[in-house]
Amino acid sequence: MKFRRITIEDIRSIAEDLKFSADEQYLERMTDYARMFSDDLSALEPGAFATAGQGSDRRAWSLPVEDHNALGAWAATIDLQENSTGPLSGKTIALKDNIFVAGVPMTNGTAFLSDFVPEFDATVVSRVLKAGGRIVGKATCEYLCVSGGSVTSATGFVRNPHDPAYSAGGSSSGCGALVANGDVDMAIGCDQAGSIRIPASLNGIVGLKPTFGLVPYTGILGMESSIDHAGPMTRTVEDNARLLGVVAGYDEFDGRQKAVEVGDYTSGLESSIRGLRIGVLKEGMDHPDADPRILERVRDALRRLEGAGAVVRDVSVPEHRLAVAVWAGLYFDGIRLSLEWGGINANNRGLSSGKYNEMFQHWGARVADFPENAKMVVILAEYMKRFGGYFYGRAQNLAHSIRRAYDDALSGIDVLALPTTTTPSVKLPGSGAPMDLDTTMQQIGGYMWNTAQFNVSGHPALSVPCKATSNMPTGLMLVGRYFDESTLYRVASKHEELCAAVE
């Protein structure tokens, strides 16, 4: 984008908008001073000087072949591999289509961004390639990633491989479906309210929202930098731990990171869980809309873990219910600021894409084409302007209290346990059914009522498959202390072993 020098007409118009009067001489002097401070902005135009993240060549990619995309889960296919050795050697990986891959188009589930091509790789992409992973495609995601269902992507529904008539969940919908279907070994999804864990639960795979800041978010489209997370989605606990070990750690471009502690996530997978304390979160089990079959599957899994030597007892965190309201205070104002800033999170010392920023600024002309839930999000974001950031500030203050409440509970136990999703996957609308407001909102549903809390608190939360409910998967969610993903994997690995023993 080319910088345009400010004029006296600009100054006059802005003064009128701000409702202060000024004579012509004042406006002339103000224009001179404004130019003194702003003319140098022309140095920030593209090509003026080299910046970090520039210079990657265009890479080969293709749209998915329709015959090989029955689930609607592929956004694009690619084939990238830089090393033949490393911890991810032999593994195929898909990336949610809000993650930058230099030279490969990225739509974020929309139509109006279809021409955007990132100019640099996300940090997680660079780390996967360095570790020997083979990136084979971009996975479909929901429109602007604002859905917990799988019906809003501009390219159509994403279907659940266990039964294509049902939802795959979202917003990392394609990642969940591709991993569950065996199309890839691993995927990297993103999570602001449950968007890794919801599709993990509904597709019957393993999905981790890591500790806040553990996995760098550089080169990934965000909504609100204090709740943005990226993490691994896999079929097995071991693969999940292996992928986390590759992508976790300090990144100079991610200003959200603070005292990051990276563990050895695979070494303790076979350790005994005898004596390990699991707290069953009361407020996570008694949601009024919870499906009793899901609750029984979770209780059954916990009985098995208790039989393996874990100490299981009930715990209460009353703030669990308040945390969803805190999430809303962060989310909608965060969306508002992102829309105003052209898709860039303010107060974040990371890399950003000028190309994306320039293209995203035209979103307002396309709102009529947005899916109904995205329109609702935009309306609420615009509504929050009336409060001048008051509720965002309140939510940020309360987020510290929410974190302390979970920390207090975890001081007496090792892991919290609760259902990932309290309702099962819903049946998708029939072919040609109108996606009106009611239908869309029913599809995105109440999947996030146990997940969004941990985006607020930042605690690591891992969804592992439970037995099927009415032939569709569901998930057990394990929540741990900051940077203690290793304990979550230890419990999850034992759960996986116990499930395999009875199948």
- Active site amino acids: 96, 171, 195
- Listing DSSP states for 271-299 in one string gives ---TT-EEEEEHHHH--TT--HHHHHHHH
Q: Residues 427, 420: contact at Cβ < 8 Å?
A: no
Phi, psi of 178 (to 5 degrees): -65, -40
Place of tokens 């990238």: 80
Q: How far is CA 400 from CA 212, 260, 327, 459, in A?
A: 13, 18, 12, 12
Three-class secondary structure assignment of 119-168: CCCCHHHHHHHHCCCEEEEEECCCHHHCCCCCCCCCCCCCEECCEEEEEC
SS3 181: coil
Name the amino acid, one letter, at 373.
N
- Token couple for 140: 């479909």
Question: What is the edge-to-edge ordering of all strands in the sheet holding 472-479?
Answer: 74-80, 134-139, 92-96, 186-191, 229-234, 206-209, 461-469, 472-479, 415-419, 277-281, 311-315
Q: Residues 55, 213: contact at Cβ < 8 Å?
A: no
Helices then strands (H, E): number in the chain?
15, 13
How far apart, in whole angstroms, are the C-alpha atoms of residue 396 and residue 380? 18
First vs last C-alpha separation in the chain = 59
Cβ neighbours for 282, distance < 8 A, ≥ 6 positions apart: 314, 315, 316, 317
How far apart, in whole angstroms, are the C-alpha atoms of residue 26 and residue 8? 10
Residue 241's Cβ-side half-sphere holds a number of Cα atoms within 13 Å equal to: 22
Q: Residues 278, 413: contact at Cβ < 8 Å?
A: yes
Phi, psi of 174 (to 5 degrees): -65, -40
Residue 104 DSSP class: S
